[in-house]
Amino acid sequence: MSKKGLPIHLSKEDMARLVKVGLLHDVGKAKIPPQIINKPGKLTDQEFEIIKLHPVFSYEIAKKSNEKDIDILNGIRGHHEKINGTGYPDNLRYNEICLFARITIISDIYDAMVSKRVYKDAHSPFEVLDEFSQGRFSNLDMELVNAFLSNMPIELLDKFVLLSDGSIGRIIYINPNNFMYPIVEAQGEIILTNERLKCVSMYNA
């Protein structure tokens, strides 16, 4: 696989600012009642309305912490907006959502899906990438989604995964037309994963 992904053309300074958005965008969840954050079942409509306040709380916390960079602040506040205006908290549309927010939306969805929560098991990164590639998340900036899909396989290359038979494999190739079933090296064999032998999760020894 090529080591060159589709670029987004951000400067090192912009990358550092974007990382700051990533670190701060969910800090407002500290103001959400823990019984809602940690609820194992489906949220009620009222509970979901409370959850939807966390980007505003994160924004306010950052401002009170003397953050003055408007792109960082808008990136924090806008990380749940959708390009068709159905997101929250401000129902912004495509051109109204700042670049940092449109990028953070993608990474936030990915992280939420590959992480284990009290109400769900973790999805494999390959399942998540496949869902992105199939257009499940159509209310995102698709140019940025394509950049994400181009670059994530590079990040996953040579990483270790837990296979559904309990063995450990090393990722050696990810087909950009079929993210679900990468090629792995396991116990000295080269294996094309499939419905019977899947990558369950990343493996951290």
Domain segments of the chain as ranges: 8-122, 124-205
150: number of CA atoms within 13 Å, CB side? Answer: 13
Give CA–CA dist 170/132, Å, rounded: 23
Tokens representing residue 139 in the block: 């209310």
* CA distance to 5, 67, 98, 166, 168, per residue, from 28 (Å): 33, 15, 19, 38, 37
**9-53: per-residue pLDDT in tens?**
789 999 999 999 999 999 999 999 999 999 988 899 999 999 999
Q: What is the CATH number of domain 8-122?
A: 1.10.3210.10
Say whether domain 124-205 belongs to CATH 2.30.30.
yes
pLDDT at 205 over 90: no
Q: How many helices (H) and strands (E) does the chain have?
A: 8, 5
β-pairing verdict for 168-175 and 160-163: antiparallel
Name which of 23, 72, 28 is nearest 50 in CA terms. Answer: 28
Name which of 113, 144, 117 is nearest 130 in CA terms. Answer: 113
Strand partners, 173: 183
**91-119: per-residue pLDDT in tens?**
999 889 999 999 999 999 999 999 877 66
Q: 99: left (phi > 0), else alpha (psi -120 to 50), else beta?
A: alpha
> What global pTM score does this model have?
0.88
pLDDT at 140 over 90: yes
Helix 54-64 to helix 12-24 angle (10° resolution) is: 120
pLDDT value for 4? 46
